[in-house]
Structures are given as structure tokens and as C-alpha cells.
A = this chain, B = another copy of it.
Amino acid sequence: MPQTATINRQTLLASRPVGAPVPDNFKLVETPVPHPGEGQMLLRNLWMSLDPYMRGRMSDAKSYADPVAVGDVMPCGAVSRVMESNLDGFAAGDLVMCYTAGWQDYSLSNGSMVFKLDPNMAEPSQALGVLGMPGFTGYMGLLDIGQPKAGETVVVAAATGPVGSVVGQVAKLKGCRVIGIAGGPDKCAYAVDELGFDACLDHKLDSLANDLANACPDGIDVYFENVGGKVFDAVMPLLNPHSRVPICGLIAQYNATELPPGPDRLPQLMRLMLSQRIRMQAFIIFDNYGPHYPEFLQTMTPWVAEGKVKVREDRVEGLENAPQAFIGMLEGQNFGKMVVKIAD
């Protein structure tokens, strides 16, 4: 099903997943390219972002954002080219980052949640990762909630992903000891050799809890929570007095269809928080920290340019391949920020 200048391919939510999403939960359809009305612009989406939060939007469970309706276009942010604009401040040819683009070739936008990008930006897809939502998430959650101090131990999972890699590298820049957790020896080696983490542990090994305890002889001062599940179980006994746990995601739990069997450890977590005086705080980056985005960019852009923060993307070509890439990402098959190239 090729894309043409008159056809807009859209990936719809065909049905809600039960457990892990499957290809049948998605449906690719062809619709006419829409025409922008007054106060609208037409965007040609070039790069689309795949992020774990989208799994939550596929469910109808209560969450911070409304679920996607069955039959609606799957949501995503994208780097896009303005094709036609009836909107002040945007002109045909502009390169933008649009948070409401959706899994499709073309989108209409009224300008909300759209940011102009430097048209000469070397790697525009970075606006979806290290310089976009995931990087901003790692940066603000670590610094504002995590409050890392030099010499403290910071632990982060999904260590080679776009959030975890920023958390770890920024924590290193702040003088912390950084322990990553990732899936498999290649990712672990990359976190240490390329990203400069002090250690990185393989969560696929049964020895994770023991390995983490050995890697954190002084306990854990900041645990940046983006996965949940067995990683958090391994972290809990190591949390130091006054430790901080920013929570931005729980990818290990998203596909769960029921609660795990007992005993009920909720009271245990409460007791742990009390005995160690722990701060746990969840946040949604633009909801909690939107106004800080420019200052984040001012800091992060030169760090990336100077190589102080390294970037790795996992690029897939073709809108039609987005569902499989998304399904694989939830299983940890990606290595780096997952982006889909849908046009030049």
C-alpha cells in the first residue's frame, strides 16, 4: 500500500489488546489527504516516535490521558514538514515537532503542542528522543525529583533507552555513581563502554537482585523508575534513607492483565517508605514541567553536540512497520530510541 500525494495512510487502533498487543490490534487504512481549514496547517510526517506510554492509551483503564477510541488513529509525536499553513507563525517548508501527529502520513494541526525546529538540524529525529519528550523526562525527573548529589548512587533501568540513557549520563555529569539495568550483554556493554555508566546489569539473569546488591554497596539514593516489576523488587531492599524515586513509566507492568498473586506487598511498600523516609513521585513530563522545556533544550542541545550526552536510535523504515516495531519495543527488542521513518 504505497503512500502517494493524495493518499493518507493511517494506522488505527482496531481493537484493545488483552495483555501484549498483537498485529491485529492495529489496522492500516487509506484516506484522502485532508485539507487544512482556517487556523490549521497540513503536516507531512517524516519521523514518528514510538514510546511505551502508547500502550496505556490503547487501554480503557483510567489514566492520565484519555484512551484512544477503537477506530481512531494511534497517537504519537512526529517530526513533520509543514505542507500548507493557514496559521500565523507557520509557513510551508517549516520543520516542526508535533506531539499530536498520530501514526499517519499527514496530519492537520491547529498549532497546539507544535514546536518549530531548526531547519538545519543535523538529526531531526533527535527531537523525538534526547531533545524531546524522553530526554526531557529523564532530565527533569532526575534533577527535580531525584535531586542527585555528587557521590550518590543512581540506578536506572532501560538504561540504553532514550529516558534511561539520559538519566544515567546526566547523573554522571553531576558526579554520581550510576548503575544501569538493561536486557542482555550487548546493551549492558554499551551502557558502560559508550555511555560511561559505572556498571550495567542484565535483568534477564536470575541473579539480578544479587547483582544489584553487589553493585550498590552503599545502597541506592536515587532510583529512576521507568519499568516497575522485578527491577523495582530488586531495588526496594537497597533504598537508602531519604532516597528519591521519580516514576515516569512502568513498562514491565503495562501488558499485565491481572495483579500478581499474593501476599499483598502494598503495606510493605508503605512501611519501607516510612522506615527509609522515601520520596516517590510520579510525573508526566509536559503536564508537570512544560514551562521548563526551553531551559532543558538550552542545556541538552550543547551536551549532545559536544558528545557529553550520547545518542542511539533504533530506526525502522515505513509506517506499515510501526505496529511490529511497537510490539517489539514493549518486549525490549529495540536498542536505543525507537523511531519510524515514514518520509524523507
Contacts and interface: CB of A to CB of B under 8 A. Distances in A.
A294 interface: no
A247 B260 contact: no
A278 B282 contact: yes
B267 A277 contact: no
Given A277-B288, A287-B277, A264 B267 contact: no
A281 B278 contact: yes
Interface in A54-80: 56, 61-64
A312 interface: no
Contact of A262 (B56, B247, B263): B263
A275 B241 contact: no
Contact of A229 (B260, B267, B281, B287): B267
Contact of A282 (B261, B273, B282, B288): B273
Contact of A264 (B247, B261, B271): B261
Contact of A270 (B247, B263, B274): B247
Nearest to A244: B281
Identical subunits present: 2
Nearest to A249: B274
B282 A274 contact: yes
A234 to B, nearest CB: 13
Contacts of A56: 275
**How extensive is the interface on chain A, given as a class?**
35 or more
Q: Residue among A228, A229, A263, A274 with the most chain B CB within 10 A?
A: A274
Given A258-B263, A266-B269, A62 B274 contact: no
A64 B281 contact: no
A279 B284 CA distance: 12
Contacts of A253: 267, 270-271
A265 B270 CA distance: 11
Contacts of A112: none
Contacts of A263: 258-262, 264
A240 to B, nearest CB: 12
Contact of A247 (B63, B225, B273): B273
Q: Residue among A241, A267, A278 with the most chain B CB within 10 A?
A: A267
Nearest to A254: B271
A281 B280 contact: yes
A253 B265 CA distance: 12
